[in-house]
Amino acid sequence: LLAHRTCSPNGTWLHGDWSNYSACLKHVWTGKELPEIHTSFDIQRALILAYIYFIVSNISLILLLITMFIFCYFRSLHCSRISIHKNLVSSFILRFIIFVIISEPYIMRQNTSYRNVDWLCKLMTIILQYSALANIFWMFVEGLFLHNRIVVSVFNTTAPFKLFYFIGWGIPVVITASWSVIMHYYHKEKCWEKYTALPFIFIIYVPIIVVLLFCFDNEVFPSLSKAVITFEAVRLDTPNISADFFTLVPAI
């Protein structure tokens, strides 16, 4: 039972067309479970959180689309640094599109949704995991670019975009595909419910943790230290390095 209505003694639905989605709301969009919902206050709070999640996701998506438009429209912004930013923004756009799609059935309360089609529901889960990995790996590329510009070479060099594309988009495909195949054969639940409670989720989590640790240990901190020492010495010869530094550090 995923949702239910209560029929009043006079033969009409209690609370009008409102349906109780508390059983659905225990499964939030990351696959984790909310605490058990027992009271009407808990149900109302869960619904409020769902609306906040939906609204914020839409706002974020709109802002990201505006950002992408600015990056693409103004030719003066076309450079290696901005190209990497565009890919990172694209990964976030994909993620927030999935957030909106996944949360929509809980907000619109329609009888039909993607969750009624098992393969489509699983596909949304797969894309959600892929977008999460793409976010992290493009952050890694941002850090790699920052490390190369500040620590390895402070002068303009050609960015290896084939390598960057493989890291940012290709590696997440391999990881997500591996996880999906294992889930297909070993987890037969509809929509892969409660998938985060399974050990297979570490196929997704471990690369994310490793990349984040590597970024901070081998890219961000060394880059910050090197930048403090060499920034004044090189800023006259390489004015773009300041833009690289002050743009990429907040992104990482």
The CATH number covering residue 213 comes to: 1.20.1070.10
Q: Please tell me the predicted confidence (pLDDT) of residue 88.
A: 93
* 13 bridge partner residues: 7
Tokens of 103: 């949360």
Stretch 164-170: mean pLDDT: 94
Whether the per-residue pLDDT at 125 is higher than 70: the answer is yes
**How much of the chain, in percent, has pLDDT values that exceed 90?**
30
Q: How many Å apart are CA 148 and CA 242, to the nearest integer? A: 14
Question: Is residue 15 in a domain?
Answer: no
Q: Where is pLDDT greater, at 158 or 219?
A: 158
Specify the range with the lowest mean pLDDT, choosing from 67-81, 102-116, 119-133. Answer: 102-116
Q: Is residue 148 included in any domain, yes or no? A: yes
> Dihedral of CA 2/203/141/168: which sign?
negative
Q: Tell me, yes or no, whether 12 lies in a domain.
A: no
Task: Let me know if residue 16 belongs to a domain.
Answer: no
The verdict on residue 6 lying in a domain is no
Question: Residue 32: which pLDDT band, with cuts at 50, 70 and 90?
Answer: very low
pLDDT in the model for residue 171:
96
Residue 222 has pLDDT above 60, yes or no: no
Counted residue by residue, the chain has a size of 252
Domain assignment of residue 5, yes or no: no
Q: Containing domain of residue 137, as a range? A: 22-251
pLDDT band at residue 193, thresholds of 50, 70 and 90?
A: confident
| 98-122 tens-digit pLDDT | 988 888 877 777 667 787 888 998 9
Higher local confidence (pLDDT), 191 or 37:
191
Q: What is the mean pLDDT of the chain?
A: 76
Which is more confident, 152 or 216? 216
CA 46-50-51 angle, 5° bins? 120
Q: Copy the structure tokens of residue 154.
A: 């402070």
Q: How confident is the model at residue 143 (pLDDT cuts 50, 70, 90)?
A: confident
Number of domains in the chain: 1
Examine the pLDDT at 197 and tell me if it is beyond 80. Answer: yes
The yes-or-no verdict on residue 234 having pLDDT over 80 is: no
**In this structure, what token pair is assigned to residue 149?**
């510009």
Residue 4 belongs to a domain: no
Q: Domain for residue 8, yes or no?
A: no
pLDDT computed for residue 249 by the predictor: 52
Contact 95, 84 (CB under 8 A): no
Q: Would you state the pLDDT for residue 23?
A: 59
pTM: 0.71
